[in-house]
Amino acid sequence: MNMIKQLYTIILMSSLTGCASMQGAPVAEGGKTALNASVVKPALAQLRVDRPVDVAPLVSNYLAAIISESRGDVDGAAVYYAQAQVADPENVYLKEKTFSLQLGMGNMEEAVRLARSLEGYGAPLVPLMQMTLGVQAFQVGDLKKARAYMEEAALASPKLLHFKLISAYIDLEEGRDVDTVLEEIEGFAHHASLTPRRFYHMGRILEMSGRFDEAIGAYAASQGLDPVSVFPTMRMGAIYRQREEPLKARSVYNSFLKMNPSSLMLDRIIRNFDEGKPAGYLRNSLKQNIAEVLFGFSTVMAAQHKGLASYQLLNMAMELDPDYDFSSFYYAVLAEQEGLLHKALSYYKKVDESQQTWLVSQMRIAEINFALGKRKEAISLMKKLSAQYKDTLLVTRALAEMYYSAGNYKDSVKLYTVLIDALKDKDNPAHAWLYFARGASYERLQRFAQAEVDLEQSIKIQPNNAVALNYLGYMWLDRNEKMDKATEYITRALVLRPQDGAILDSMGWLLYKQKNYLSAAKFIEKALDYIPDDATVLSHLGDIYSALERTEDAHEMWAAALELAGKDVQLRKDLKRKLAGLTKAQK
């Protein structure tokens, strides 16, 4: 081994010995890679004696890159890999890593440059590189090259529908017969899960060709197989409106909302419809069609938990069609799911008010700001949206939940009442959560009689609602009221959800009240397996240990509970009193 390799190995190996907590670096496939020697070897294999390497920046940046990956900081890793690659520009492994992460970040210019430099190496990421170069060819209008790159990429997955769809749109652009193209798509062997997408794109092609009845049939088939997808509904509604058939458009919209009552994706379209504004025409340039295929491909990757691949495909889609708001929105959703809240915010903010995903994006901005501790800003935005969309009850619901989380129970009660008063079928089990939410708000306001009415109504229309059963049972138990019913409700809840920490705590506390301390301890100790940082549960266990004369254990539990009690003034007061009493007794 030459000196460069020795130095590289020594530094990396020594740094890895204390990195057990940094295991799990994300890779291109969206999985996890242990931070150990196997991470280092690929790059080491590229170090050769016959070329100069600037060792210091290579080692330091490569080490920083793998540590950033292990922490989930893909953007940071991309920067460090790029800097390491500059120090060792012929290192194929570093080029591949840099290419993959730059594409995931959306730095298309650099991704294209690296993909070109890697042509001919036979690298594992060849299909992705060819797709990147294909997108670049689409951008400059070179269909011959675009087709060649995409066909080469397809060799890795010859049965993947998305490559067939890309080929079909190129064929149409070049004037190929529509029926022949449709026959090839229909006869293409693909995974059954992609059949709804096949029908959707057949609908697009038929709509582009002016064959609207057939397009509606294809969209309806897609919708039937994938009822949560808004895209077929959007197109069917648009066709009906263009044909001046508003009743059919309304029926299509209502059918979707009946199946997806919590969706706001049609909000902008329905508002435009109600205001008599024209329907949106199909965005059907070649680049827009390819972007739509890539967007769909990204959702497939996300469903398979291949996050980086999904980002990469979304960035390709946005490169071809930067005005397609669903790509920005979905990118933000993925970032939010991964806990990258600031990145998610930046992409939600890219959605314009005229675009379909604007309302949902604004609501997500408010929710993220709330999670980041910007509660006043979040509530202010949600109040503005609620005033602007008074008839959109999902916005009212979001504001009510935000008030509840902020401890503003008076306002949460007001808004939950608005929502309950608007119900047409008050006994529908789907509305049990509303009565529960208002009942919980009443309980926090110590308006126990009203809380009991709402919680009982929630249980009446949804008898197996373990959360409501436990909440009401514990409310009675805590107030030493209706102990027989409290026992019944908590027992029912535990049967329904035997591994729920809150319900296990309730059962333990019930046994404590019955002076069955040993059994009580077992239940609450088990509860801590599920909710170990719950101050109330720790306080309960301290009380039980105290009753069992396990003084040191009681002190440990109460002290731990006090650390976690936060802003719960009454709980903090009670814990301090108990700890002080214990100290006094010990003296």
pLDDT in tens, 265-321: 888 888 888 888 887 778 889 999 999 999 999 999 998 888 889 999 999 999 999
Report residue 25: phi and psi, to 5°.
Answer: -75, 130
Q: What is the mean pLDDT of residues 496-516?
A: 96
For the whole model, what pTM was predicted? 0.82
Q: DSSP alpha helices (H): ranges in 88-175?
A: 92-105, 108-118, 126-139, 143-154, 161-173
Give the span between the Cα atoms of 174 and 115, in whole angstroms.
27
Does 34 have pLDDT greater than 50? no
Does 177 have pLDDT greater than 50? yes
Which residues are CB-neighbours of 477 under 8 A, at least 6 positions away?
483, 486, 490, 506, 509, 510, 513
Going through 322-384 in order, the beta strands assigned E by DSSP cover none
pLDDT tens digits, 369-418:
999 999 999 999 999 999 999 888 899 999 999 999 999 999 999 999 99
Does 44 have pLDDT greater than 70? no
Give the span between the Cα atoms of 207 and 210, in whole angstroms.
5
Which residues are CB-neighbours of 427 under 8 A, at least 6 positions away?
460, 461
Residue 585 binned pLDDT confidence (cut-offs 50, 70, 90): low
Q: DSSP alpha helices (H): ranges in 462-500?
A: 466-478, 483-496
CB 165 within 8 A of CB 171: no
Query: Given this model, what pLDDT does residue 83 score?
Result: 86
Sign of CA dihedral 21, 26, 30, 34: negative
Query: Given this model, what pLDDT does residue 220 score?
Result: 97
Domain locations in the chain as residue ranges: 1-122
Higher pLDDT, residue 89 or 149: 149
CB 104 within 8 A of CB 301: no
User: If residue 233 lies in a helix (H) or strand (E), which one and from where to where?
Assistant: helix 231-242
Give the span between the Cα atoms of 388 and 7, in whole angstroms.
63
Query: Given this model, what pLDDT does residue 74 score?
Result: 79
Q: How many CA atoms lie within 13 A of 547 on its CB side?
A: 18
Give the span between the Cα atoms of 377 and 578, in whole angstroms.
39
User: If residue 575 lies in a helix (H) or strand (E), which one and from where to where?
Assistant: helix 569-586
Query: Given this model, what pLDDT does residue 21 score?
Result: 32
- Across 93-102, 211-220, 569-578, the highest mean pLDDT is recorded for 211-220
Does 512 have pLDDT greater than 90? yes
Does 498 have pLDDT greater than 90? yes
Strand partners, 26: 32
Tokens of 2: 């030459």
Quote the percentage of the chain above a pLDDT of 70.
89
Amino acid at 433: W
Give the span between the Cα atoms of 145 and 535, in whole angstroms.
63
Query: Given this model, what pLDDT does residue 230 score?
Result: 94
Query: Given this model, what pLDDT does residue 51 score?
Result: 54
C-alpha dist (Å) from residue 217 to 69, 202, 225 = 47, 10, 13
Residue 141 binned pLDDT confidence (cut-offs 50, 70, 90): very high
Report residue 33: phi and psi, to 5°.
Answer: -125, 130
pLDDT tens digits, 224-262:
999 999 999 999 999 999 999 999 999 999 999 999 988
The span from the first CA to the last CA of the chain, in angstroms, equals 69
Give the span between the Cα atoms of 515 and 86, in whole angstroms.
71
